Amino acid sequence: MARGVGRGPQDQGVGTGLALPVTAAREVALEPGFAAAMDAAQVGIYLLQDGVFRYVNPFFLGMFGYSAAELIGKCRPLDLMLGDSFSHQWQDEARNVEGRPIHSCTLLARRRDGSEFPVTVVSAPAAFAGAPATVGTVLDMTAQKAAEAKIRELADFDALTGLPNRRLLNDRISQLLAAAERDETPFALLFLDLDHFKRINDSLGHSVGDDLLCAVASRLAGAVRKIDTLARLGGDEFILALPGIPAASAIDVARRLVEECNVPFVVAGHDLTVTPSIGVAMCPQDGKDTETLLRNADAAMYKAKELGRNTFQFYAAEMNTATLERLMLESSLRRAVKQQEFELHYQPLVSLQSGLIIGVEALIRWRHPELGMIMPDRFIQVAEDTGLINPLGDWVLGEACRQAQAWIDAGLPPLLMAVNVAPVQFRQAGFVEAVAGALATSGLDPSLLELEVTERTVMHDADIHIGTLTALHRMGVELSIDDFGTGYSSLAYLKRFPVSKLKIDRSFVRDLETDADDRAIASTIVSMGRNLRLTVLAEGVETREQLALLQGMDCDMAQGFLFSRALPGDKIIGLLLQQPFLHKE
């Protein structure tokens, strides 16, 4: 048990108010009025002489659970304190003589029933009946100690799950780093993130989400050793620090954690399954400080998500390179949006019945001042993740409409201008107004604008998106379902959507000559489109054999390298004028 002694000004101030100087103590024993005041005090007050209590007030008796007859003249401090060292200290107080300073100490006391509790004793020398004595006060510190423990808990532990928080985690990792450096022993750091956890909060509410987090924390804690540290970093992110674990053992732990999470959790009457993505960083090879290890474990976790989630990945140096490249790309992209470093290229859309180019698809390119031309597959995802896709998409929409009208003004026949719409852009408030604004600014007839939305985009919250599609259709804009066949379309919804075209995804066209399943899927989409009175266009046509098969299926349109790559606006004009794919009679 801990024992503390304090002699500072604060301790002396407390004692001055409750312990009496020698003359006053002598008077207290003689004056009934003062004795009555002591009896009414809400703090334990005692007088020691010859090693035993000569006076204790009622509050003192209630604190320890004794009667006055059991203590006064019979009981020693030793009987009330836990441990000989404590009793010696209080007995030392009994031998205080006049002139000794006021004394304060914290001890562990024992009640009559044997229960223990912390007290603070403040004492001073006095005299009673002409002989030296000690007077003092006893304060029950139970509530204060509990409050201090709660404060420490709040400082170091997560309020929801009770797991160590970031502060305590950093301290534990610092200890592991010191031990690893001293003993040259490895340890593993695992970064665990729950996949699609936001769906739980959105669909069932945050209270269910919190209960699930607690259940996950409890199960993870039961799956690791007592010497391991399991911490909650925040949200649905957990960190595990595993001392003395080599890479091979870290694999076993990561697999076990994945299996544990895959067993359904019963929360608020729901059977819930959450899958984890886990990143593993090893000390010392993946970092020799807390920040580096956490960052690299985080990078590995995101790699696990990219590989399909519900798995784990070890950190590799190339991940850090990829992270730095992404940060540089994000910074450059923000600048590019402001400085308009983008341009549109156009790929012809060809009628398979006549060979006539009846439209073009606008495809964005980034002309980077140092890196040159950057294709959209390198920066579109970054734009979506950073929120830059909305201003970028608005620019594409406005520029495509402007170019289409400029060609008409230059004397070219009216062409359909197809524009891809990113999911985030389609869902943003005011998208319909943005389309209307681009048409109004350019003067383009709405019927010459076709917006391509992916199958997954419209099927997510389909009831809500029907309203957006309907508003665009009423405006006169053509609507197309892009990447058809790769999502999870419902024919019931497809019948209700005001779309005019389905685009067969290039993944079904690539192996059309050799894969019977791809031919069956493409043929089914063409037949379904015809039955629903929809135009069907095949993407990614690169060979004459693919073209012949699509024509045999009565597919309406096609685009791909067989006809032309996407070309800048000034070069596509030549194709539009020459119409080189027209069927010769």
| Claim to verify: residue 297 and residue 445 sit in the same structural domain | no
Q: What mean pLDDT value characterizes the chain?
A: 85
Comparing 347 with 81, the larger pLDDT belongs to: 347
- Please report which confidence band the pLDDT of residue 489 belongs to, taking 50, 70 and 90 as the band edges: low
| Claim to verify: residue 241 and residue 311 sit in the same structural domain | yes
Of the candidate ranges 108-117, 346-355, 432-441, the one whose mean pLDDT is the lowest: 108-117
| Claim to verify: residue 213 and residue 255 sit in the same structural domain | yes
Q: Which among 235, 213, 232 is positioned nearest to 168, based on CA atoms?
A: 232
| Claim to verify: residue 192 and residue 308 sit in the same structural domain | yes
Q: Which of 142, 165, 188 is the last residue of a domain?
A: 142
Residue 327, domain member (yes or no): no
User: The domain spanning residue 21 has which CATH number?
Assistant: 3.30.450.20
* % of residues, the chain, pLDDT over 70: 87
- Please report which confidence band the pLDDT of residue 31 belongs to, taking 50, 70 and 90 as the band edges: low
Write 431-439 long-range contacts (CB < 8 A, 24+).
431/468, 432/468, 432/471, 432/472, 432/475, 434/394, 434/397, 435/397, 435/472, 435/475, 435/477, 436/475, 437/398, 438/394, 438/397, 438/398, 438/400, 438/401, 439/401, 439/475, 439/477
Structure tokens at 229: 């540290």
| Claim to verify: residue 401 and residue 270 sit in the same structural domain | no
- Mean pLDDT over 465-492 rounds to 83
CA 238/CA 217 separation, integer angstroms = 8
Q: Is the pLDDT of residue 460 over 80?
A: no
Of the candidate ranges 10-24, 265-279, 331-345, the one whose mean pLDDT is the lowest: 10-24
Q: Which among 546, 541, 539 is positioned nearest to 563, based on CA atoms?
A: 541
Domain count for the chain: 3
| Claim to verify: residue 355 and residue 480 sit in the same structural domain | yes
| Claim to verify: residue 132 and residue 163 sit in the same structural domain | no
Q: Is the pLDDT of residue 262 over 50?
A: yes
- Mean pLDDT over 136-157 rounds to 80
- Please report which confidence band the pLDDT of residue 21 belongs to, taking 50, 70 and 90 as the band edges: very low
CA 161/CA 216 separation, integer angstroms = 9
| Claim to verify: residue 306 and residue 359 sit in the same structural domain | no
Residue 149, domain member (yes or no): no
Query: Which of the residue ranges 32-36, 284-288, 492-496 has the most confident prediction, judged by mean pLDDT?
Result: 284-288
Q: Which of 315, 350, 375 is the last residue of a domain?
A: 315
Per-residue confidence (pLDDT) for residue 92, from 0 to 100: 52
Per-residue confidence (pLDDT) for residue 17, from 0 to 100: 31
List pLDDT tens digits, range 385-433. 888 999 999 999 999 999 999 999 999 999 999 999 998 899 888 999 9
User: The domain spanning residue 206 has which CATH number?
Assistant: 3.30.70.270
Of the candidate ranges 220-229, 439-448, 461-470, 476-485, the one whose mean pLDDT is the lowest: 461-470
CA 557/CA 324 separation, integer angstroms = 42
Residue 150, domain member (yes or no): no
Q: Is the pLDDT of residue 96 over 60?
A: no
Strand 567-568 versus strand 357-368 pairing type: unpaired
**Edge-to-edge strand ranges of the sheet holding 116-128:** 4-6, 103-110, 116-128, 131-140, 44-49, 52-56
Query: Which of the residue ranges 54-58, 260-264, 415-419, 487-491 has the most confident prediction, judged by mean pLDDT?
Result: 415-419
Residue 585, domain member (yes or no): no
Per-residue confidence (pLDDT) for residue 82, from 0 to 100: 74
- Mean pLDDT over 19-39 rounds to 51
- Amino acid at residue number 521: I
**Is residue 186 reached through a cis peptide bond, with omega within 30 degrees of 0 on the bond before it?**
no
Residue 116, domain member (yes or no): yes
- Please report which confidence band the pLDDT of residue 12 belongs to, taking 50, 70 and 90 as the band edges: very low
Residue 493: CA count within 13 A, CB half-sphere:
18
Residue 322, domain member (yes or no): no
| Helix H or strand E encompassing 369 | none
| Claim to verify: residue 424 and residue 497 sit in the same structural domain | yes
Overall size of the chain counted in residues: 585
Instruction: Give this prediction's pTM.
Output: 0.54
| Claim to verify: residue 311 and residue 339 sit in the same structural domain | no
Write 368-374 long-range contacts (CB < 8 A, 24+).
368/332, 368/336, 368/341, 369/341
Structure tokens at 265: 């959790």
Of the candidate ranges 54-58, 106-110, 147-151, 445-449, the one whose mean pLDDT is the lowest: 147-151
Domain that holds residue 203: 157-315
Q: Which among 305, 295, 233, 234 is positioned nearest to 275, based on CA atoms?
A: 305
* % of residues, the chain, pLDDT over 90: 56
| Claim to verify: residue 409 and residue 548 sit in the same structural domain | yes
- Mean pLDDT over 13-37 rounds to 44
| Claim to verify: residue 194 and residue 92 sit in the same structural domain | no
Comparing 48 with 216, the larger pLDDT belongs to: 216
Of the candidate ranges 321-335, 362-376, 459-473, the one whose mean pLDDT is the lowest: 321-335
Q: Is the pLDDT of residue 148 over 60?
A: yes
Q: Which of 80, 110, 142 is the last residue of a domain?
A: 142
- C-alpha dihedral (3, 7, 11, 17), degrees to nearest 10: 120
Q: Is the pLDDT of residue 11 over 70?
A: no
Residue 324, domain member (yes or no): no
User: The domain spanning residue 509 has which CATH number?
Assistant: 3.20.20.450
- Mean pLDDT over 25-52 rounds to 71
Residue 328, domain member (yes or no): no
- Mean pLDDT over 213-234 rounds to 94
Per-residue confidence (pLDDT) for residue 145, from 0 to 100: 83
Per-residue confidence (pLDDT) for residue 41, from 0 to 100: 84
